[in-house]
Structure 1
Amino acid sequence: MASKRFIEMVEPLLTLMPTVPRPNRPVTLGSRLIWTFLAATVYLLLSVTPLYGIVASSSSPLFNPLVAIIFASTNGTLAQLGIGPIIIAGIIMELVAFSELMDVDLNDPKDQARFTALTKLVAVIIAMFEGAFIMSTHQLTVANAGLAFIVWLQMLFGAVIVILLDDLISKGWGIGSGISLFILISIIRSIFQSTFMPVTVGAGELLGIIPALVAAVYSAAVSHTLAPLLSIVYRFNLPGLIGLIATIVLGGFIAYVELMEVRIPLSFVQYGGYKMSYPFKVMYVSVLPIIFTAYTVALIYNGLYFIWTTYNPHNANALLNSIACIRVITTAKFGTINEPCPSSLIYYFTVVPYNITPQYVVVHILMYVVLSVVFAYLWVNLAGLSAEDQARTMVSSGLSIPGFRASARSLAVHLKRYVNSLTFTSGLLAGFIAALGDVLGVYGTGIGLILMVEIIIQYYTIAMQEQLFEAYPGLKRILGVE
């Protein structure tokens, strides 16, 4: 009841939160596609509009490409925070709701509106603190100190616009969710740039692999050597041929696994024991555990980097060197870069170091697999996906196991072996694919590839469902879909 009183206390503040009204009548599929396109266009404009007052060439060692992909953020633009505040606020509020720390009935329209408004408020607060953290840790270089507050305000403004765009799509004006849409745009843009972008970076190297391949073929023909072709097979921090092949192969494998299902035989009690099969995806919890994994690895790296910059900036302490050691090396193609020492712990939390050792590959993959499996089990038990939760849902829907008593307890015992196996398998596969993709230089990162395939499948399913509902409107009433 205390949580109820808390919501009532902050309700005047919740009414000030900007919101998008729900449509008064059902929106056609064509109109929803237009609104989705407009939301995507606004997000793209945010992601290419630079923040006023920062040094354009500035970059930070704390910038993590994995986190940028997951949060659909673009460094140095109005989309600096991306969807990070929305995701973090959503996870916090979902955990609070499922753990019953908040006395709220999500089936009650009034409570649901309050809960949604409170989630937005939490997202705005997170955006304020995240923007302040970015400025205080100098992840953006400001032209002068007087512009720091203006840069912070711009980041907050961009975050609020993204929150409203997500609200627009989620309220039924668009298709799917804004979070999925912006992540998909971010990943596709990254893959497109890695494949086709004809701009030069570093020591005059072409960014896109296709332009680089054309240039390498020409150079090989002129010089009559294979050196130009071999130089683009694997390029540090740049798209290579191995990355292109790995993107295609892993993308196909992810799509295959995402569509795999395990069907459990059940029966309808109220229809005289009518038998059916209930599908469980093999990738039972593929996205959120690997998001938690990437974020955890990034946080640990940032923590170790903080130790180095604060207590061991000159690598003078042998004990601290084993924890965090950053050295400056000079390369022919990239000039001077900060490289973690292979003998230090921070080396294994780097996304992809310049010097990759066999030990790094093994530890990196094992670390991702273990963390992903652990987070998979945690999420299943916290988010209402456990065998007990599934059993209660099935029993309330009139489902039971043929030959067993129709009770949630007996069904949970039967489901436990399936849910536990699928949780472990999905966590293991997601962690392995993500880590292997990083090592092989997959375009858009391994985690991004998993997210992209799953979101595309999700959008395809939604589009097919919407077409079916438009052709047969009575199905919505039969299935209880609003």
Structure 2
Amino acid sequence: MVEEILRKLQPYFERIPSVERPKQHVPFRQKLAWTVGILILYFALTNVPVFGLDPSSIDLFAQFRALFAGAGGSILALGIGPIVTASIILQLLVGAGIIKLDLTKPEDRAAYQDFQRFLVFVMIAFEALVLIFSRSMIPNAQIAAQLGVPLSFITFLIFFQLFIGGVLIVYMDEVVSKWGIGSGVSLFILAGISQAIITGLFNWVVPPNSQLPAGIIPRWVWIAQNYGANVLSADGLMFLLIDGGVLALITTIAIIFLVVYAEGTRVEIPLAHAAVRGARGRFPIKLIYASVLPMIFVRALQANIQIIGMMLYQRGITIFGEYVGSQPVSGIMYLLSPVQSPYDWVPALVKTNPIFADLPDWMIILRLLIDATILIAGGILFAIFWVETSGMDAKTVASQIAKSGMQIPGFRRNPQVIERLLERYIPKVTIIGGAAIGVLTLIANMLGTIGNVSGTGLLLAVSIAYRFYQDLAKEQLTEMHPLLRRFIGEEV
């Protein structure tokens, strides 16, 4: 029933303007130019503030900023949130069988993609309204008085700017995906997290209500100047480890090596071309087969739950929890909020914050256990959904291999035969990889990371950077061997 409605509405969804795909192969240098150009534009837009915003406004996505990209208070405040949320909704609807689409069929996949595109624009408007009605983005009454316009007009201007920023993110993502290298969403996440890590290392600014500089290296200088030999005592070493950022630095370096190792761990299926003698290749099935993208969906789901909780709190409904700024401090919303550092799960450290001074220890530990369950179970669930909806399942991959003219030596050249062989590996690797990414994210969150980018953000940055390097190598290779473009699904 639902899918029939979607097909009837599909002609209207197709009318939504989109970036035209290149009609022929785009040279590597041109792709690189488009990617760099969009990246520069992205950084420029994150520095364009929303006009009419009151200084008391808060960044509702502060806890998830490394994940959602964009910048609080700018016209890109929504970041990639609407794109991720729309993808989550559709994956859940298709996975639950509410929308019955066979994504291995071209017509069903087209209907899925067209509806997802429409849903992204709906979510841009919805999330912009949420930021306004949750009182996160407050219109400036003084500006309204100076311009002689009602406050509702300033509110509309804020909504309009947020909507335009969300639309720009969508089209910038399309430009990179179709004309550049990789995807725009991954590029924006990598850019934001890299910036946060560099700032977390070298920032000399001292935050309010703190004696220590924000950056790790400036902190070490401050500690050396103020602690001297006392830093070698038990308390001094603990202070250096936690507050000095040494633990965060060690965790960050360890996670980088672990993710690179996991990305390189794979099962390789040998391939041979049926018509070209001597032409051989391999199809790699990586341990992290679904990448770390499932973690985006997990954290995005948590972010949307927190947004709903804050909206209810702003309306005087406190049964689900209370908030201080954008931080939940009680109730189920506190238990569902992500752990991001030792100050979120070690009771003695949690209670150094006056807000949590009276919080019972069992509630702190329960929050950690819930977050661990969400990360591991969510990583597996969304990894399965992602593989099934992105064309990485055994049936789709087998069809692509067969169409490229390749076959597995020793087996008949038949998509069903290839599919049965891939079924031995892909489902198992998907589950193991999803759980492994959940565990790595949990460990990184528990120990802390440079720049407070969170374990999710760090894993995303490393995985995206690794795959971006692979994409660069692949682009250069296809420039030398145009026949390879047929194997990866591009037109020569």
TM range (shorter): 0.7 to 0.9
Matched AA of 1:36: T
Q: Secondary structure at the match of 1:165?
A: helix
Matched AA of 1:8: P
* Contact preservation (8 Å) 1:265, 1:275: yes
TM-score where L is the length of structure 2? 0.77
TM-score where L is the length of structure 1? 0.79
Q: 1:331 corresponds to which residue?
A: none
Q: 1:356 corresponds to which residue?
A: 346
Determine which of 199, 202, 205 is the counterpart of 2:205: 199
* Contact preservation (8 Å) 2:345, 2:368: no
* Contact preservation (8 Å) 2:91, 2:385: no
Is residue 2:444 matched to residue 1:455?
no
Q: 1:179 corresponds to which residue?
A: 185
* Contact preservation (8 Å) 2:288, 2:429: yes
Question: Equivalents in 1 of 2:85, 2:449: separation in Å?
Answer: 26
Q: 1:234 corresponds to which residue?
A: 242
Q: 1:246 corresponds to which residue?
A: 251
Question: Equivalents in 2 of 1:243, 1:385: separation in Å?
Answer: 35
Q: Secondary structure at the match of 1:53?
A: coil
1:309, distance to aligned residue in structure 2 (A): 6.0
Question: Equivalents in 1 of 2:245, 2:403: separation in Å?
Answer: 53
Matched AA of 2:441: A
Deviations 1:394-428 (A, max 9, x none): 45556666666665555444433312220111111
Question: Equivalents in 1 of 2:271, 2:27: separation in Å?
Answer: 36
Q: 1:203 to 1:291 in 2, by over 3 A?
A: same
Determine which of 329, 349, 364 is the counterpart of 1:340: 329
Bigger drift between 383-392 and 73-82 goes to 383-392
* Contact preservation (8 Å) 1:97, 1:104: no
1:178-327 to 2 correspondences below 5 Å: 178-204=184-210, 205-221=212-228, 230-235=238-243, 240-264=245-269, 277-304=282-309, 313=318, 324-326=320-322
Q: Secondary structure at the match of 2:290?
A: coil
Question: Equivalents in 1 of 2:446, 2:214: separation in Å?
Answer: 18
1:464, distance to aligned residue in structure 2 (A): 1.8
Q: Secondary structure at the match of 1:233?
A: helix
Q: 2:443 corresponds to which residue?
A: 436
Matched AA of 2:257: G
Bigger drift between 462-471 and 221-230 goes to 221-230
Q: 1:34 corresponds to which residue?
A: 33
Q: 1:46 corresponds to which residue?
A: 45
Q: 1:355 to 1:454 in 2, by over 3 A?
A: closer
Q: 1:163 to 1:206 in 2, by over 3 A?
A: same
Identity of aligned residues (%): 27
* Contact preservation (8 Å) 1:63, 1:139: no
1:440, distance to aligned residue in structure 2 (A): 1.1
Larger RCO, structures 1/2 (Cα 8 Å, 6+ apart)? 2
1:387, distance to aligned residue in structure 2 (A): 3.4
Matched AA of 1:254: V
Q: 2:120 corresponds to which residue?
A: 123
Q: 1:78 corresponds to which residue?
A: 75
Matched AA of 1:44: F
Q: Secondary structure at the match of 1:454?
A: helix
1:95, distance to aligned residue in structure 2 (A): 8.7
Q: 1:333 corresponds to which residue?
A: none
Matched AA of 2:434: G
Question: Equivalents in 2 of 1:181, 1:354: separation in Å?
Answer: 29
* Contact preservation (8 Å) 1:216, 1:228: no
1:450, distance to aligned residue in structure 2 (A): 1.8
Q: Which sections of structure 2, spanning at least 5 residues, go unmatched? A: 142-150, 348-364
